[in-house]
Amino acid sequence: MLESKIENRLKKEVEKNGGLALKFTSPGMAGVPDRLVLLPKGRIAFVELKAPGKKLRPLQLKRKEQLEVLGFKVYVIDSYKRIDKFIGEMVE
C-alpha cells in the first residue's frame, strides 16, 4: 500500500470527526512530521505517515523525540488499522 493512500484516509477520518489534518512543512527544519492534526476540544497531534513496514529515518526520529519532550503527541501511522487506533485515542 502506498503512503499516499494512508495519508488520504487519515485526512478523511480526521475531517469526519470534525478536525483538520494540515500538511506540515517547516522551512529550514527537515524531518518534521507530515501532518499536524487538530481536533475539537483543543486536541493536537503530529503524525508521520509511512508505507507499511517502513521505519523513521534518524532525523525523523530525532524530531519526534524533540516534539515529545515538549509534551506533544507524535504518532507514526503505516496502516488503516493504526489510523483507527489513532482516532480512537484522540477522539475518546
Q: How far apart are CA 73 and CA 36, in angstroms?
A: 10
CA–CA separation, 51 and 76 (whole Å): 10
Q: Report the pLDDT value the prediction gives residue 92, as an integer from 0 to 100.
A: 77
CATH T-level fold of 3-91: Trna Endonuclease; Chain: A, domain 1 (3.40.1350)
- pLDDT per residue, tens digit, the chain (92 aa), is 799 999 999 999 999 999 999 999 999 999 999 999 999 999 999 999 999 999 999 999 999 999 999 999 999 999 999 999 999 999 97
Domain ranges of the chain: 3-91
Specify the pLDDT at position 74: 98
